[in-house]
Amino acid sequence: METCIIVSDLHMNYGHVAAVDGVSFDVDYGKVFGFLGPNGAGKTTTIKVLTTLVHPTSGNVSIFGKDVVKNAREIKKRIGVVLQEPSFEGNLTVEKALDLYGIMWGVAGERRRDRARELFDRFDLAELRSKKNDELSIGQRRRVQVAREFMHDMDLLFLDEPTVGLDPAARRTLLDYVKKHVHGGLTVFFTTHIMEEVEYLCDEMAIINKGKIMAIDTPAGLKQKYGGVKAVEIKLRGAKAKSVMEIVKPLAEGSAIEIPAEDTIRVSSAEAQDMLVKMIQALAKNSVQIESVSVNSPTLEEVFLTVVNGGS
Ligand SMILES: Nc1ncnc2c1ncn2[C@@H]1O[C@H](COP(=O)(O)OP(=O)(O)OP(=O)(O)O)[C@@H](O)[C@H]1O
Ligand SMILES: [Mg+2]
């Protein structure tokens, strides 16, 4: 049994709003699946169906080989969920909140204390353990919310924008902690708006827009497919970029020529390799020496914008 999540033709309507409109995808065990899309695309709604919180309007969802509607209780026991909206008792201390969570999941006394100790350490919460939730900053609360989910063992974890409000160090800590558990066999369904996180963590990703999946592939595969334009950059030796503008301009075919540094020219092109060859030839012909060249791949952010805006 290789597949952890199987979603086929999932629809979820809120009245007349088709929040999820015919979505299908699979996630294998031990993989991280990234779910991206603009605000209101249907990410949280999909998570709510997959975590048994709401019933789908139509379609099939199977988790661990079991139907999500018929076997909700059984599935719930083996999953963890960090929802987008924070949920906790404001009056509880961090320590108490983690302990209660452990009790809720039936984690025995000693193990509960050990686990909490590890999480305080890992998520840098030691100093906050006797603070009440209401006294925490937004990022601190988010860290507690994610940490407490790890109080119990699970096979599948849903994280809905878990890094919102986290500083870069806390974000990296969280991603690394998740990564470590993935290596231990955990499967993760992850939403975020931050492309670097997808690149860092996800084996596969889908881009959803208006309830429909627009693209699905590995991050590298999507970059290749939708990358399109690449930037050609040439660093000159002993010459100023401005002085070679007249040589380069006729080759740029209308695209803007940038000067990111005094000795560097950059041109964007859909045929970057050809453009690079032509530029090198023209510069050589004019006896301009070249220090280095590069062709930069598109970022995932560019891919996202291309997919969501329907191509450029
Ligand atoms: N409880 C609800 N009642 C009615 N409509 C809803 C409800 N929850 C979500 N919607 C609508 O469903 C659509 C999808 O919302 P959803 O929360 O799934 O988006 P999202 O991709 O998670 O967005 P975000 O990035 O802002 O979190 C939106 O049009 C939203 O207005
Ligand atoms: Mg959401």
Are 40 and 177 part of one and the same domain?
A: yes
Q: In this predicted model, what pLDDT tens digit does every residue of 124-181 receive, in sequence order?
A: 899 999 999 889 988 888 889 999 999 999 999 999 999 988 899 889 999 999 999 9
Which of the pair, 34 or 229, is modelled with greater confidence? Answer: 34
Residue range 77-82: mean pLDDT, rounded: 95
Whole-angstrom distance, CA of residue 252 vs CA of residue 261:
18
Residue 47 in domain: yes
Q: In this predicted model, what pLDDT tens digit does every residue of 81-110 receive, in sequence order?
A: 999 887 767 788 999 999 999 999 999 989
CATH of the domain at 37: 3.40.50.300
Q: Report CA Rg, the chain.
A: 24
Q: Is the CB of 67 under 6 A from ligand 1?
A: no
CATH of the domain at 259: 3.30.70.980
Residue range 245-273: mean pLDDT, rounded: 85
- The residue whose CA has the least distance to atom 24 of ligand 1 is 39
Are 102 and 250 part of one and the same domain?
A: no
Asked whether 55 and 69 are in contact (CB, 8 A), the reply is: yes
Residue range 191-216: mean pLDDT, rounded: 92
- The residue whose CA has the least distance to atom 2 of ligand 1 is 14
Residue 301 in domain: no
Asked whether 200 and 267 are in contact (CB, 8 A), the reply is: no
Q: How remote is the CA of residue 227 from the centroid of ligand 1, in Å?
A: 28
Residue 132 in domain: yes
Are 253 and 290 part of one and the same domain?
A: yes
Whole-angstrom distance, CA of residue 94 vs CA of residue 131:
6
Are 98 and 247 part of one and the same domain?
A: no
Q: Of 151, 185, 217, which residue sits at a domain end?
A: 217
| pLDDT of 245 over the 80 cut | yes
Asked whether 202 and 219 are in contact (CB, 8 A), the reply is: yes
Residue 33 in domain: yes
Are 26 and 167 part of one and the same domain?
A: yes
Residue 273 pLDDT: 81
Q: Of 170, 192, 217, which residue sits at a domain end?
A: 217
Counting the structural domains of the chain, the total is: 2
Residue 223 in domain: no
Residue 298 pLDDT: 67
Whole-angstrom distance, CA of residue 160 vs CA of residue 196:
16
Residue 32 in domain: yes
- Closest-approaching ligand to the CA atom of 53: 1
Q: Which distant-in-sequence residues (6+ apart) come within 8 Å of 123 by Cβ?
A: 143, 144, 146, 147, 170, 173, 174, 177
Q: Is the CB of 287 under 6 A from ligand 1?
A: no
Whole-angstrom distance, CA of residue 10 vs CA of residue 38:
19
Look up the pTM and report it. 0.82
DSSP-derived 3-state class of residue 92: coil
Are 91 and 133 part of one and the same domain?
A: yes
pLDDT band at 191 (very low <50, low <70, confident <90, very high): very high
| pLDDT of 312 over the 50 cut | no
Q: Of 187, 217, 247, which residue sits at a domain end?
A: 217
Residue 186 pLDDT: 95
Residue 268 pLDDT: 80
Are 11 and 113 part of one and the same domain?
A: yes
Q: Is the CB of 55 under 6 A from ligand 1?
A: no
Are 29 and 169 part of one and the same domain?
A: yes
Are 43 and 142 part of one and the same domain?
A: yes
What 173-176 contacts at long range (C-beta under 8 Å, 24+ apart), as own/partner pairs, is: 173/122, 173/123, 173/124, 174/123, 174/143, 174/146, 175/200, 175/201
Least reliable range by pLDDT among 30-39, 82-91, 144-153, 297-306:
297-306
Residue 1 pLDDT: 58
Residue 30 pLDDT: 95
Q: How remote is the CA of residue 84 from the centroid of ligand 1, in Å?
A: 11
Q: Is the CB of 264 under 6 A from ligand 1?
A: no
Whole-angstrom distance, CA of residue 161 vs CA of residue 71:
26
Residue type, 306: T
Are 149 and 184 part of one and the same domain?
A: yes
Enclosing H/E stretch for 216: strand 212-217
The overall average pLDDT reported for the chain is 90
Residue 141 in domain: yes
Least reliable range by pLDDT among 186-190, 198-202, 248-252:
248-252
Q: In this predicted model, what pLDDT tens digit does every residue of 205-242 receive, in sequence order?
A: 999 999 999 999 998 888 877 766 678 899 999 999 99
Residue type, 165: G
Domain region containing 122: 3-217
Are 60 and 192 part of one and the same domain?
A: yes
Are 17 and 125 part of one and the same domain?
A: yes
| pLDDT of 123 over the 80 cut | yes
Distance spanning both ends of the chain, measured CA to CA: 41
Atom of ligand 1 nearest to the CA of 37: 21
| pLDDT of 311 over the 90 cut | no
DSSP-derived 3-state class of residue 63: strand
Q: Over pLDDT 70: what percentage of the chain?
A: 96
| pLDDT of 305 over the 50 cut | yes
Residue 256 pLDDT: 73
Q: Are strands 204-209 and 32-36 parallel, antiparallel or unpaired?
A: parallel
Residue 308 in domain: no
